Amino acid sequence: MTKHLADPDSLLGLLQRGRGKGYLLALEAPPATVWPLLMECITNDPRVDCDVEVRDQYYASLILATGMDLQPLRLHIKLNDNTERISALQ
């Protein structure tokens, strides 16, 4: 499966790649600009190898630093909860 990554010089592209420069730019950007980008990264995991590329603290600390409202993320998780489908497969 091919992952779509934004331009590596864009804020989204830097955040998708877990770059320190992206983190610093996100802290300087208006929070309302950063929040949808964080949602994109969290809900459409851009990592190639989740075991090697750890981003939980990276994204979580940006959420805290920018004061992101977690309600849209909660709603996304609730609407996309696959526990019933997973249980049926077991």
Whether residue 49 lies inside any domain: the answer is yes
In a domain, 53, yes or no: yes
Domain that holds residue 34: 11-89
Within 13 A of 77's CA, how many CA atoms are on the CB side? Answer: 7
- The number of distinct structural domains making up the chain is 1
More confident residue, 58 or 46: 58
Instruction: Note whether residue 19 is domain-resident.
Output: yes
- Taking 3-state DSSP, the helix, strand and coil percentages for the chain, each rounded to the nearest 5, stand at 60, 0, 40
Is residue 1 a part of any domain in this protein? no
Amino acid 74: pLDDT: 92
Q: What pLDDT, in 10s, does the model give residues 17-39?
A: 988 999 999 999 999 999 999 99
Structure confidence at residue 88 (pLDDT): 52
pLDDT, tens digit (0-9, with 9 covering 90-100), for 1-19: 457 899 999 999 999 998 8
As given in the structure block, the two tokens for residue 20 are: 């320190």
**Residue 47 pLDDT more than 80?**
no
pTM score of the predicted model: 0.80
User: What's the whole-number mean pLDDT along residues 57-78?
Assistant: 94
